């Protein structure tokens, strides 16, 4: 018998709780490679490259300003309309990217998954990080306009809640990852779900105070918005940087708890499906 000392022994997963998250930590270099692949592949052979993130945010914010601000005349809590919509666009773009891209993990990587062993969860985790790069670019754009509006005397009041921003980003990432891997796991058997993801994300955006503030919602509609875990995140982000929005610790704790539940359920389902998905994909 060989006396070789193996650095890794691959064994089949035995149950729902056999998560092996330590392998994910050991695959840091692999995740870094996936991040670079995800970021480069999107804008490789484009003229503007990553600048498209800026163009996208600007065009979306201008469109919202014209349609919802000037035509529909929706309230922005007294904030400059463009800045109000740009803040919502930046934060929603990150969440939606995390959800929609992780939702196709098994389908997009079926060939790779079928050839070599590595922690499958490293792929959706890399998507969160690569999407964070695009968010950083759009966030920098938002900060630039924030400084400009502040210098020209706009009624905006950044405050100490800005320190809570990393927690808000982690909550968005957790929600996007949880929802995304649940959908990805289910689509290995029910392909129809992948066609509903884009529509579902768009519908969820209108049930989140992106184009209107929570303060304008009344009655049952307000309760529906509060039930959306993204609502308190968006409102807290706006309040932190612009000084207008609804801050409620209970709402934030609800979103945090919701995130943990969805994330745990998603990881458990993902862990179960990855063992057999090659038979159904």
Alpha carbons 30 and 212: distance in angstroms, whole number: 41
Q: What's the DSSP call for residue 65?
A: I
Angle in degrees, 0-180, between the axes of helices 122-151 and 165-187, rounded to the nearest 10: 140
| pTM more than 0.95 | no
pLDDT at position 104 is: 84
The percent of residues in the chain predicted with pLDDT above 90, rounded, is 54
pLDDT at position 159 is: 94
pLDDT at position 235 is: 96
Q: Which two tokens stand for residue 161?
A: 């809640």
- Cα dihedral 45, 47, 50, 56 sign: negative
The percent of residues in the chain predicted with pLDDT above 70, rounded, is 86
Report the alpha-carbon angle 170-35-237, nearest 5: 25
Q: Provide φ and ψ at 232, rounded to 5°.
A: -65, -30
pLDDT band at 1 (very low <50, low <70, confident <90, very high): very low
Q: Is 73 exposed, middle or buried (0-12, 13-18, 19+ CB in 10 A)?
A: exposed
Q: What's the DSSP call for residue 16?
A: T
Q: List the chain domain ranges.
A: 46-279
pLDDT in tens, 136-150: 999 999 999 999 999
Lowest-confidence range among 71-75, 173-177, 191-195?
A: 191-195
Alpha carbons 57 and 55: distance in angstroms, whole number: 6
pLDDT band at 8 (very low <50, low <70, confident <90, very high): low
pLDDT in tens, 43-55: 666 666 677 888 8
């Amino acid at each position: 018998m060989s006396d070789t000392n193996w650095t890794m022994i691959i064994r089949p997963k035995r149950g729902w709780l056999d998560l092996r998250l330590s392998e994910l930590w050991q695959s840091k270099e692999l995740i870094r490679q996936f991040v670079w692949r995800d970021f480069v592949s999107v804008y490789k052979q484009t003229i503007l490259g990553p600048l498209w993130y800026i163009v996208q945010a600007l065009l979306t914010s201008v469109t919202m300003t014209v349609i919802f601000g000037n035509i529909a005349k929706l309230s922005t809590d007294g904030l400059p309309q463009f800045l109000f919509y740009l803040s919502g666009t930046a934060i929603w773009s990150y969440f939606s990217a995390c959800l929609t891209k992780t939702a196709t993990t098994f389908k997009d990587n079926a060939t790779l998954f079928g050839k070599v062993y590595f922690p499958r969860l490293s792929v959706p985790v890399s998507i969160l990080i690569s999407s964070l790069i695009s968010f950083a670019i759009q966030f920098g754009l938002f900060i630039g306009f924030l400084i400009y509006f502040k210098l020209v005397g706009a009624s905006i009041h950044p405050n100490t809640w800005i320190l809570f921003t990393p927690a808000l980003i982690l909550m968005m990432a957790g929600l996007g990852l949880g929802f995304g891997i649940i959908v990805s796991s289910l689509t290995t058997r029910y392909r129809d779900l992948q066609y509903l993801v884009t529509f579902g994300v768009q519908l969820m955006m209108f049930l989140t105070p992106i184009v209107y503030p929570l303060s304008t919602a009344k009655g049952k509609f307000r309760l529906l918005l509060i039930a959306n875990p993204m609502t308190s995140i968006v409102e807290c982000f706006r309040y932190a940087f612009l000084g207008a929005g609804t801050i409620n610790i209970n709402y934030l704790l609800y979103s945090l708890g919701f995130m943990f539940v969805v994330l745990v359920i998603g990881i458990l389902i993902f862990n179960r499906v990855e063992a057999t998905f090659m038979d159904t994909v």
